[in-house]
Amino acid sequence: MFLESASQKGWIEVICGSMFSGKTEELIRRLKRADFAHQKVEIFKPKLDVRYSTDQVVSHDAHSIRSTPVDSSQNILLLTGDVDVVGIDEAQFFDPNLVPVCKTLADRGIRVVVAGLDMDYLGNPFGPMPHLMAMAEYVTKVHAICVRCGNIAHHSHRLTKNDKLVVLGEQDIYEPLCRHCFNQHVK
Mean pLDDT in residue range 90-117:
97
- Domain assignment present for residue 168? The answer is no
pLDDT band at 63 (very low <50, low <70, confident <90, very high): low
pLDDT at site 49: 64
In a domain, 120, yes or no: yes
Q: Are 93 and 57 in contact (CB under 8 A)?
A: no
Q: Which residues pair with 150 in a beta bridge?
A: none
How many domains does the chain contain in total? 1
pLDDT in tens, 11-24: 999 999 999 999 98
Q: Is residue 47, in this structure, part of any structural domain at all?
A: yes
Quote the pLDDT of residue 57: 57
DSSP 119: B
Q: What is the CATH number of the domain that holds 70?
A: 3.40.50.300
State how far the Cα of 54 lies from the Cα of 129, in Å rounded to an integer. Answer: 23
User: What Å distances lie between residue 181 and 16, 125, 144, 146, 162, CA to CA?
Assistant: 20, 19, 13, 8, 20
pLDDT of residue 172: 75
The answer to whether position 154 is within a domain reads no
| Range list of H helices, 19-82 | 23-36, 74-79
Closest residue by Cα to residue 117 from 84, 90, 157? 90
CB 91 within 8 A of CB 114: yes
Q: Is residue 40 part of a domain?
A: yes
The answer to whether position 129 is within a domain reads yes
94 burial type by CB count under 10 A (0-12 exposed, 13-18 middle, 19+ buried): buried
Residue 180 lies in a domain: no
Residues listed for the chain? 187
Question: One of 90, 137, 170, 175 is an active-site residue; which one?
Answer: 90
Tell me the per-residue pLDDT of 71-87, one tens digit each, with 9 for 90 and over: 999 999 999 989 999 99
Is 90 a residue of the active site? yes
3-state secondary structure at position 159 = coil
pLDDT of residue 6: 46
Say if residue 128's pLDDT is above 90.
Answer: yes
* Domain enclosing residue 69, as ranges: 11-143
Q: Does 172 reside within a domain?
A: no
